[in-house]
């Protein structure tokens, strides 16, 4: 990694994240119908804490991170029981026209195994204190400057009750004519455990859920996430999953995918506690794992939001008539190199990649063994940009002029 990238990675602080999780656990429950006014108790205390953290980050960012906004919506526990809840968000405005918006989200509500009980103990340290801690830490570090794309950091309420907060936020973006500008949503949900409580440990991987279609933009985002650990030399494998989420489960990324916006979810590979367990406590968080997971997610966000982008995905594969092909694409003025990614037709992930200085590959006999090709540009700071749309090798091989 470059000096700039290493500098960012070295700033991720597990102790800051520990403090965030400790506070969120201390409020007893973050149920949507718990107290909104009592000091140090209930979902209101959690919401105020998150808003205060965004406020502190904003003040120290020189104006890069805007003042937090509290987005109100009505959250329903049952048809006759409801309360006003808030999504809390803060924005870093982008510097480049048409670079779009990326949403980075984590839900802060919690439940007990009895989902309807607003007073039962619901510490929610991993689900999803860990995600909120990562959200705040990434916002703190990235607020030091602005990026090509706009970043919206949002803490959702109501996820445990059928994603009510993120659904309301999607409606809010749509009504403000912003949803069409969102290039992708990154959901950080439950990333702090590395064991399943049965003696099985995996502290080297993080799962990435997206969409069931292998050719969707969400699946492409997930593939890009998986590549990130490799190209930046991070100590974490990001694993593309075949489904939207675990069997019978959901997350806030559903709300965006359902609205036509590509969205992915990061979640730990091992799961220790059932949803809403009162044993979901900070003592079971593995902070070294959480720190490495946070670094990986932050680098993926940088790749999407600040890497140089191919404005047009005009990939051309030409048959040279000697068993070889040439590959061409539009150059990017701010790039100092490119990465070419290759995937077999039915592969879940990219099977090979290589780097090149030029915006072309003059001659190679290996393209035909693959099903699809995509290209990404690399900036002077070492940050790789988002993938171009995939090119199907079999769709068209133009003859050389």
Distances (CA, A) of 150 to 143, 179, 197: 12, 13, 40
Q: What is the DSSP string of 258-281?
A: HTT--EEEEEESS--S-TT-TT--
- Beta strands (DSSP E) in 17-68 are none
Q: How far apart are CA 348 and CA 195, in angstroms?
A: 25
> Considering its fold, how many domains does the chain have in total?
2
**What is the H or E stretch that residue 186 is in?**
strand 182-188
- Domain with 390, as residue range(s), is 316-399
Q: Is residue 223 within 8 Å of 300, Cβ to Cβ?
A: no
State pTM to two decimals.
0.96
Q: Do both 199 and 337 map to the same domain?
A: no
Q: Do both 137 and 282 map to the same domain?
A: yes
Q: Is residue 85 within 8 Å of 73, Cβ to Cβ?
A: yes
Three-state DSSP class for residue 160: coil
Q: Do both 278 and 391 map to the same domain?
A: no
The pLDDT of residue 323: 87
Q: Do both 182 and 327 map to the same domain?
A: no
The pLDDT of residue 37: 96
The pLDDT of residue 395: 67
Q: Which two tokens stand for residue 156?
A: 């959702």
Q: Is residue 318 within 8 Å of 397, Cβ to Cβ?
A: yes
Domain final residue, candidates 306, 335, 370: 306
Q: Do both 175 and 267 map to the same domain?
A: yes
**What is the H or E stretch that residue 300 is in?**
helix 287-306
Which residues are CB-contacts of 311 (< 8 A; sequence separation ≥ 6)? 330, 332
Q: Do both 199 and 320 map to the same domain?
A: no
Helices 42-60 and 131-142: crossing angle, nearest 10°? 20
Q: Do both 280 and 191 map to the same domain?
A: yes
Domain contains 10 = yes
CATH number at residue 82: 3.40.630.10
Q: How far apart are CA 317 and CA 283, in angstroms?
A: 54
Closest to 104 in 3D by CA, of 171, 153, 147, 70: 153
Q: Which residues, listed in sequence order, are joined to residue 201 by a DSSP beta bridge?
A: 195
- 120-123 LR contacts (CB < 8 Å, sep 24+): 120/29, 120/31, 120/278, 121/28, 121/29, 121/278, 122/28, 122/29, 122/30, 122/31, 122/276, 122/278, 123/25, 123/28, 123/278, 123/280, 123/281, 123/282
Report how far apart the first and last C-alpha atoms of the chain are (Å, whole number).
40
The pLDDT of residue 222: 97
Q: Do both 274 and 320 map to the same domain?
A: no
The pLDDT of residue 401: 47
Domain contains 329 = yes
User: Computed over its alpha carbons, how large is the radius of gyration of the chain?
Assistant: 22
Task: Tally the C-alpha atoms within 13 A of residue 46's C-alpha that lie toward its C-beta.
Answer: 35
Q: How far apart are CA 101 and CA 183, in angstroms?
A: 6
Q: Which two tokens stand for residue 136?
A: 């705040």
Q: Do both 73 and 180 map to the same domain?
A: yes
The pLDDT of residue 314: 84
Q: Which two tokens stand for residue 228?
A: 């990130």
Domain final residue, candidates 257, 276, 306: 306
Q: Is residue 51 within 8 Å of 31, Cβ to Cβ?
A: no
Q: How far apart are CA 192 and CA 206, in angstroms?
A: 10
Domain contains 213 = yes
Q: Do both 294 and 355 map to the same domain?
A: no
pLDDT 10s digit of each residue in the chain, 401 long? 688 899 999 999 999 999 999 999 999 999 999 999 999 999 999 999 999 999 999 999 999 999 999 999 999 999 999 999 999 999 999 999 889 999 999 999 999 999 999 999 999 999 999 999 999 999 999 999 999 999 999 999 999 999 999 999 999 999 999 999 999 999 999 999 999 888 899 999 999 999 999 999 999 999 999 999 889 999 999 999 999 998 888 999 999 999 999 999 999 999 888 888 999 999 999 999 999 999 999 999 999 999 999 877 889 999 998 889 999 999 999 899 999 999 998 999 999 999 999 999 999 999 999 999 999 999 999 999 999 999 999 865 554 44
Q: Which two tokens stand for residue 52?
A: 């205060």
CATH number at residue 395: 2.60.40.10
Domain contains 344 = yes
Q: Do both 129 and 262 map to the same domain?
A: yes
Distances (CA, A) of 308 to 118, 379, 381: 47, 6, 10
Closest to 21 in 3D by CA, of 134, 155, 105: 134
Domain contains 334 = yes
Domain contains 311 = no
Q: Do both 336 and 242 map to the same domain?
A: no
Domain contains 134 = yes
Burial of residue 281 (CB within 10 Å: 0-12, 13-18, 19+) is middle
Which residues are CB-contacts of 150 (< 8 A; sequence separation ≥ 6)? 91, 92, 93, 94, 99, 100, 101, 102, 181
């Amino acid at each position: 990694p470059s000096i700039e990238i290493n500098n960012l990675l070295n700033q991720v602080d597990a102790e800051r994240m520990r403090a965030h999780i400790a506070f969120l656990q201390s409020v007893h429950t973050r149920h949507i119908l718990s107290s909104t006014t009592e000091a140090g108790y209930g979902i209101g205390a959690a919401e105020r804490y998150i808003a205060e953290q965004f406020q502190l980050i904003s003040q120290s960012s020189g104006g890069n991170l805007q003042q937090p906004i509290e987005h109100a919506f009505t959250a329903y526990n049952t048809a006759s029981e409801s309360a006003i809840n808030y999504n809390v968000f803060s924005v870093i405005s982008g510097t480049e026209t048409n670079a779009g918006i990326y949403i980075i989200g984590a839900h802060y509500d919690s439940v007990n195994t009895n989902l309807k009980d607003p007073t039962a103990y619901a510490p929610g340290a991993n689900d999803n204190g860990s995600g909120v801690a990562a959200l705040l830490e990434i916002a703190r570090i990235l607020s030091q400057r602005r990026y090509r794309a706009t970043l919206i950091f949002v803490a959702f309420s109501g996820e445990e009750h059928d994603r009510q907060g993120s659904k309301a936020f999607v409606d809010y973006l749509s009504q403000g004519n912003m949803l069409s500008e969102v290039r992708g949503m990154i959901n950080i949900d439950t990333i702090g455990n590395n064991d399943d409580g049965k003696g099985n440990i995996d502290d080297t991987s993080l799962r990435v859920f997206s969409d069931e279609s292998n050719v969707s933009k969400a699946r492409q985002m997930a593939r890009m996430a998986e590549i990130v650990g490799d190209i930046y030399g991070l100590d974490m494998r990001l694993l593309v999953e075949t489904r939207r989420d675990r069997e019978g489960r959901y997350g806030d990324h559903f709300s965006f995918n359902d609205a036509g916006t590509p969205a992915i979810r990061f979640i730990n590979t091992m799961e220790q506690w059932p949803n809403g367990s009162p044993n979901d406590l900070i003592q079971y968080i593995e902070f070294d794992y959480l720190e490495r997971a946070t670094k990986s997610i932050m680098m993926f966000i940088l790749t999407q939001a600040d890497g140089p982008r191919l404005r047009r995905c005009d990939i051309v594969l030409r048959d040279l008539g000697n068993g070889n092909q040439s590959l061409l694409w539009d150059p990017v003025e701010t790039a100092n190199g490119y990465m070419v990614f290759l995937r077999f037709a039915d592969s879940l992930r990219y099977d090979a990649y290589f780097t090149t200085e030029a915006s072309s590959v003059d001659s190679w006999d290996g393209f035909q063994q693959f099903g699809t090709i995509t290209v990404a540009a690399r900036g002077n700071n070492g940050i790789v940009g988002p993938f171009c749309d995939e090119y199907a090798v079999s769709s068209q091989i133009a003859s050389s002029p």
